[in-house]
Structure 1
Amino acid sequence: MTRFRAAPVLRALVTLAVLGSVAACGTGTDAVVQGGTFDFVTPGGKTEIFYDPPSERGTIGNISGPDLMVDGKTTSLSDFAGQPVVVNLWGQWCGPCRGEADDLETVYENTKDLGVAFLGINVKDPQQDKAQDFVTDNNVSYPSVYDPAMRTLTALGGKFPTSVIPSTLVLDREHRVAAVFLKALLAEDLQPVVERVAREQ
């Protein structure tokens, strides 16, 4: 009797141990987020939202995850401490993302001497190689976090519209949200905003 009762208990313990080890392995390459005070307010149809004065801006959480282009590397928002950062949510499957890619690259090249960094977040792309081809074909030179499951978007506030791709956020030097664009961008739309934020004291 004792032998038959012990067997199910032993099987249960082995199952728990296996599940625990699988869960531990699964977290190593996931995109993650920590902290943040940004509270996105539904804009009522607006596609451009500005948060001023700077003292009233909220910070987003620390986005971190696998680098899209470099195996084994982790890319994080915290890599750009003290720099204004333009965060762009994109997918290779998204037509407007293809349309704005060269405009974003132009603004990056035009503002990096002001200390501005760009960080892409690649979402909803289960095939990493296709997302990598997008970067290569469009000559995108700034890094992206590979986040097909969109886990990093929790950093952007619980009400951020995850269905709006592309989306772009302009963060100031303290990584507070200065502007949000819920649309594809032209360089002439984005660059003046980025330059203004970069020159803030």
Structure 2
Amino acid sequence: MTNHQPVPVPPLPGRRSLLLGAASAALLLAGCAAPDTLAVQAKAGDNKNYIAGDGSVSEYAPGTRTAAVGMTGVLYDGTTVDSAQWQGNVTVLNVWYAACAPCRKEAPDLEALHQEFKNDGVRFYGINVRDTAATAAAFERTFGTTYPSFNDSDGGILLALANHVPPRAVPTTLVLDKHGKVAARILGLAEKSTLKALISTALSEP
């Protein structure tokens, strides 16, 4: 007489197993999409107080550029500047503040490019998003920057540039063409050679 051993039947997955399986599948699917690095940093809660872009560069062909930037701001010395004054010149705008580590690193390169291109009529302006006049002045003394900066602690300039500068993405550098339109943007640390090439390209345009 042959003994028939019962064939073991695997238990049905419990609720916990089903949930874990679903979570794993969701993670696999999420891994197929490239993360939004700015969004990730914004949600990180690491208290560094700035969102560092990845240094990505966006260039815009002349025929694809949006309308000229329209903004008015007050420099730390009290001078009011309107972007309409920049027509005919290439203009570089750099969003910064003193405690931002990438801002400190790129400051000497920005100043060097300011000196290199000032005889070509290229204008450089900083847009400081949080510092007092004393703090901004101390930064300028430390890093030797001589181009002026706007006091944008109220966020008015960034609001005017909202289509070009992501919220809290510091530093960000914009190169405006001779018509005041954004020709290029760097999110994060501006590499000197890259920014120089972008400025040179804008200068070469009619």
| TM-score, L = length of structure 1 | 0.71
Paired AA for residue 143 in structure 1: P
* 1:77 aligned residue (45, 61, 83): 83
- Could you say which residue in structure 2 is the equivalent of 1:65? 73
1:166 paired with 2:175, answer no
1:179 paired with 2:197, answer no
What SS does the corresponding residue of 1:118 show, helix, strand or coil? strand
Identity %: 32
Q: Which runs of 4+ in 1 moved over 3 A?
A: 157-160
- Could you say which residue in structure 2 is the equivalent of 1:89? 95
What SS does the corresponding residue of 1:89 show, helix, strand or coil? strand
* 1:190 aligned residue (192, 195, 206): 195
Distance (Å, rounded) in 2 between the aligned partners of 1:117 and 1:61: 14
Q: How many matched pairs?
A: 154
- Tell me the CA shift for residue 158 of structure 1: 4.4
What SS does the corresponding residue of 1:119 show, helix, strand or coil? strand
- Could you say which residue in structure 1 is the equivalent of 2:3? none
1:49 paired with 2:48, answer no
Which stretch of the first structure deviates more once superposed, 157-166 or 101-110?
A: 157-166
- Tell me the CA shift for residue 61 of structure 1: 3.4
| Root-mean-square deviation over aligned CA pairs | 1.8
Larger radius of gyration: 2
- Residues 113-161 of structure 1: CA deviation (Å, up to 9, x unaligned): 2221111111022x22111211122111111111112221122234731
Distance (Å, rounded) in 1 between the aligned partners of 2:84 and 2:119: 19
Alignment map for 1:21-40 (pairs within 5 Å): none
- Residues 57-85 of structure 1: CA deviation (Å, up to 9, x unaligned): 013533222211x1x32133233221010
- Could you say which residue in structure 1 is the equivalent of 2:162? 157
- Could you say which residue in structure 2 is the equivalent of 1:119? 125
Paired AA for residue 108 in structure 2: D
- Could you say which residue in structure 2 is the equivalent of 1:11? none
* 1:200 aligned residue (173, 186, 205): 205
| TM-score, L = length of structure 2 | 0.69
> Which consecutive unaligned segments of at least 5 residues does structure 1 have?
1-43
- Could you say which residue in structure 1 is the equivalent of 2:45? none
Distance (Å, rounded) in 1 between the aligned partners of 2:187 and 2:164: 13
| Contact 1:121-1:146 at 8 Å conserved across structures | yes
> Which consecutive unaligned segments of at least 5 residues does structure 2 have?
1-35, 38-53
Distance 1:50 1:159, change over 3 A: closer
Distance 1:79 1:140, change over 3 A: farther
Distance (Å, rounded) in 1 between the aligned partners of 2:168 and 2:120: 32
